[in-house]
Amino acid sequence: MDDLILATKDLQEQFTEKRVLNNLTFQLRRGRFLSIVGENGVGKTTLLRIILGQLKPTHGSVTFYPNRKAVKIGYVPQFRNIDDEYPLAVKNFVALNFTQHHWPWLTAAERARLTAVLQETKLLDIKNEPLGRTSGGEKQRTYLAQALVIKPDLLILDESTASLDPIAKEQLLRLVRHLNQTTGITVISVTHDVPLAKQFSDDYLLLQPDGYQFGPIDQLQVSEYQGGEHHV
């Protein structure tokens, strides 16, 4: 169990109208990049919410190793309400995730961490720009930086590339993969983009209406993936 970061056992979620996750059981090793794929409504976000502790499974469990408290999670949600007028500068938006309360007066250690993460995510040049005026790709990198600033052990991305053009999509995933390989951070990424998942991940979890598949990414058959926004 040494190198596991989390394991699920027999997970199921029963909503009023629908049941998702069919006794889902899988184990994720530390340092791996897992892509979760599957058609719309199959339960991908539900699984993330269970892992994040926002939703209690109707059945089954999630276990963290060595325990939940020891696994720091950085989360990039699927939707944000950032309009063109959003005034907070990129660097201040990233710093929101520091837990200390007297922001914006960061400690020296926090300032150093902030600079490091802005550099890692290639945001130094635009750190003083209001977030509302940045491009889609820059916004996604800012959300990523905000999740990373706390030095998480596990990074969870919910369709972070969905709104991006193909070049920005690949750049973002390449960056996440680079961080995964250089820092050892474990990544769980929900995506509809199977070719990109195949390019950048180690493992896949394909959720299906009546079951699931889990395994090394090279075993994911593109033809088995039906649905999502991008039919392949």
- Of 210 and 218, which has the nearer Cβ to ligand ATP? 210
CB-side neighbour CA atoms (13 Å) of 66: 1
- Of 43 and 57, which has the nearer Cβ to ligand ATP? 43
- Long-range CB pairs of 131-136, under 8 A, 24+ apart, other chains included: 131/82, 131/86, 131/87, 131/88, 131/89, 131/90, 131/93, 132/82, 132/83, 132/84, 132/85, 132/86, 132/87, 133/84, 134/90, 135/168, 136/163, 136/164, 136/165, 136/168
Q: Least distance (Å) from ligand ATP to the CB of residue 52?
A: 12
Q: Least distance (Å) from ligand ATP to the CB of residue 77?
A: 11
- Of 57 and 114, which has the nearer Cβ to ligand ATP? 57
Beta strand residue intervals within 77-161, DSSP E:
154-158
Q: Which amino acid is at 143?
A: Y
Q: Least distance (Å) from ligand ATP to the CB of residue 191?
A: 10
Contacts with ligand ATP by CB under 6 A lie at 15-16, 18, 20, 38, 40-46
DSSP 36-65: EE--TTSSHHHHHHHHTTSS--SEEEEEES
Q: Least distance (Å) from ligand ATP to the CB of residue 12?
A: 12
Q: Least distance (Å) from ligand ATP to the CB of residue 25?
A: 18
- Of 65 and 225, which has the nearer Cβ to ligand ATP? 225
- Of 16 and 221, which has the nearer Cβ to ligand ATP? 16
